[in-house]
Structure 1
Amino acid sequence: MDKGNYTAVTEFFLVGLSHYPGLQISLYVLCLLMYLVILLGNSILIIISILDSHLHTPMYFFLGNLSFLDICYTSSFIPKILINFTSERKSISFLGCTLQMVISLGLGSTECILLAVMAYDRYVAICNPLRYTIIMNKRLCAQMAAWTWVAGFLIALIQTVLAMIKPFCGNIIDHITCEILALLKLICVDISLNVFIMTVGSIVLLITPLMLIFFSYIFILATILRINSSEGRKKAFSTCSAHLTVVILFYGSALFMYMKPKSKDTKTSDEIIVLSYGVVTPMLNPIIYSLRNKEVKGAVKKKVLFRNLFSRKI
């Protein structure tokens, strides 16, 4: 393609699903409801983990990070999706598209690493319980959480900059968000470097953390099977089942989206997948951790009971 035949882009038009107005109305209602559930559910988890002293442990520290991350992640693109679903001019400025891409990519990348960190926490708790509080001290937990955010946003910034500095042949993005795979097909010049960096990023952010999670759970399973007490095995399984469920939901859709060989084409199914791991998973995270965790349910009940008693005294 002629490298000189490009357009000076000041804004993009997000035309994904524009050919399905009926579907857009249904998705608007669905996304709005799910977004409200995400805000409510994850906020409750954060508040409970802060207020209840029994939940001041590494597991709930990382869970609070995950909830905060999910709120920020969904807030980076769902409001814009809702606006575009009800607007005839489905546009976003160049700067707005850049910010949306780097924030959503950064937060999504951070979650990939954070899930691996949470798997390591479960590994230490079950395989080395006597030294758990020594190994997973407050300083180490804070450093691990901080580095997940730094690494996630650093990789996202590199991918975004390499994409946005290239010349574009048009400004119509066949997607509902400024998604990097959809944006790459507008670039007029060779994108081999972009594809290479994305492949490396996928290995670092998807394959490597997934392998760490996989090996962590092999050791966890081996340790659990050596526990003589059936009650002990059940308790150990319950502490890991919620995290494992979240990992399967998140990585399943993310791997399908980013690891398949495609850089120039986007399909309607990809937009549905984006909504799957970008909206459904953050919505289910607090539900999964609440339903599968007795400590969280106990903390919620205790706070509700305390509030009821306090209101009666008043």
Structure 2
Amino acid sequence: MMSSDKNQSTEVVFIFLRFSDYPELQVPLFLLFLTVYAVAVVGNVGMIVVIKINPKLHTPMYFFLKHLSFVDFCYSSIITPKLLENLLVDDRSVSIKCCIAQFSTGVTCVATEMVMLAVMAYDRFVAICYPLLYTVSMSPTHCALLVTVAYAWGIISSTVLTYALLVLSFCETKIISNFVCEYSVFLSASCSDKHFSEIMLFIFANLSAFCTLIIILTSSLFIFVTILKMHSASGRYKAFSTCASHLTAVTIFYGIILFLYCIPNSKNSWLVVKVGSILYLVVIPMLNPLIYSLRNNDVKETFRKIKDLKTISQ
């Protein structure tokens, strides 16, 4: 394995290609992604504010949802502004240090979100399957501990994968057919042995995805069995509605992650990688607040009250 000293002796930059091969689409794409980013920011910040100001939402489920919204806001803000800049400016170069910094913070958010989704699934499992133990099992101390574990795993994953990139050598300026500092960007641009970095990506991507998926699927299975045993149709509907939003978000998020990183994708084209990256880095942070709010009467009621207060003040 080559040392990273060469990285420090030679100033290496990445030059990203535009997302589209058609110049006439740059402005429409800019407006599209700007709109998506604006919705993501407003939706996630709005979700945090709504949960904070409404005492009815001061429960473990919304405590975790608040942190999920915070993570979504962070990693959309890490990625999307640079994408918007690349669609407009001619100079699309970025230094290797800045690229690694963007990657590191992005991985922290994505890995944290994986664990957060598993924690939210466990929360629903306890609430539906063991309601009498819910207050004890999901005490404020336990909730804080679960959130801490989620953030800690994000930091650990980011540290290990960033180290796996720092041992690579980059010999010259590279033109990258992408818009973001993805792991595949570094591997394709490296002129040193990539085996260690590829192994680290495979281990941590699969470890994060499959361990959290096992928790989510197991919780969902027990929830489904418990719901079927309920005698009240209204009780079944209420229990199902509390889980439907979460399952929708999980399906979208993990479907894309598994496709991009956990299944060997050497045959995937750069177009597939770029579209997949757009979906989970730009679109998902916009979809999550919409998914969780549209099926949640408490959240919708709070949004309506805020809107009414603004109307009255005007």
Q: Counterparts in 2 of 1:251-266, with a 5 A limit? A: 251-262=254-265
- For residues 112-127 of structure 1, the aligned pairs below 5 Å read 112-127=114-129
Matched residues in 2 for 1:180 and 1:21: separation?
27
1:278 Cα offset (Å): 1.1
Partner residue of 2:177?
A: 174
CA distance in 1, matches of 2:269, 2:102: 18
- Counterpart in the other structure of 1:51: 53
Out of 78-87 and 16-25, give the one that drifted further: 16-25
Residue 61 (structure 1) shift = 0.6
Name the structure 1 match of 2:137. Answer: 135
Q: Distance between the aligned counterparts of 1:143 and 1:128, measured in 2?
A: 20
- Residue 158 of structure 2 corresponds to 156
Secondary structure in 2 matching 1:12: strand
219-228 or 268-277, which moves further after superposition? 268-277
TM-score of the pair, normalised by structure 2: 0.93
Asked if the contact 2:13/2:172 (under 8 Å) is kept, the reply is: no
Q: Say which of 210, 216, 222 aligns to 2:219.
A: 216
Shift of 1:263: 5.7
Matched, 1:291 2:283: no
How far off its partner does 1:273 sit? 0.9
Match of 2:230 among 227, 230, 255: 227
- State how far apart, in whole Å, the 1-side matches of 2:309 and 2:192 are: 63
Letter in 1 for 2:126: V
Whether the aligned pair in 1 keeps the contact of 2:47 and 2:69 (CA below 8 Å) is yes
Contact 1:114–1:148 under 8 Å retained in 2 = yes
Match of residue 185, structure 1, among 185, 188, 209: 188
Deviates more, 1:36-45 or 1:188-197: 188-197
Aligned to 1:63: 65
* Greater mean alpha carbon deviation, residues 46-55 or residues 140-149: 140-149
Which of 89, 107, 110 in structure 1 is aligned with 2:109? 107
Equivalents in 2 of 1:299, 1:189: separation in Å? 55
Q: In structure 1, what is the Cα distance between the partners aligned to 2:3 and 2:168?
A: 10
Q: Write the letter of the residue equivalent to 1:94.
A: I
Give aligned-pair identity as a percent. 38
* Distance (whole Å) between structure 2 residues aligned to residue 100 and residue 197 of structure 1: 18
How many residues are treated as equivalent by the alignment?
310
SS in structure 1 at match of 2:189:
coil
CA contact (8 A) 2:18 2:87 kept: no
Instruction: Determine the structure 2 residue equivalent to 1:268.
Output: 271
- Going from structure 1 to structure 2, the CA distance change for 1:235 and 1:204 (only over 3 Å counts) comes to same
Q: 1:199, CA displacement in angstroms?
A: 1.0
Q: Root-mean-square deviation (CA), in Å?
A: 2.1
Structure 2 match to 1:41 = 43
Aligned match for 1:26, one of 25, 28, 32? 28
Residues 211-259 of structure 1: CA deviation (Å, up to 9, x unaligned): 2101110000000011100000000000000000000111111111112
Higher alpha-carbon deviation: 229-238 or 274-283: 274-283
Q: What amino acid does structure 2 have at the position aligned with 1:54?
A: K
In the alignment, which residue of structure 2 is the partner of 1:94? 96
- Contact 1:175-1:266 at 8 Å conserved across structures: no
Structure 2 unaligned blocks of 5 or more:
none
Counterpart CA distance in 1 for 2:80 and 2:311 is 35
Inter-CA distance 74–130: structure 2 relative to 1 (3 Å threshold): same
> Hey, what's the Cα distance between the residues in 1 that align with 2:161 and 2:231?
49
1:196 to partner: Cα distance: 1.1
Gaps of 5+ in 1: none
What letter matches 2:82 in structure 1? Answer: K
Paired with 2:269 and 2:187, the residues of 1 have a C-alpha distance of: 10
Q: Which runs of 4+ in 1 moved over 6 A?
A: 1-4
1:304: Cα distance to partner?
3.1
CA distance in 1, matches of 2:108, 2:198: 17
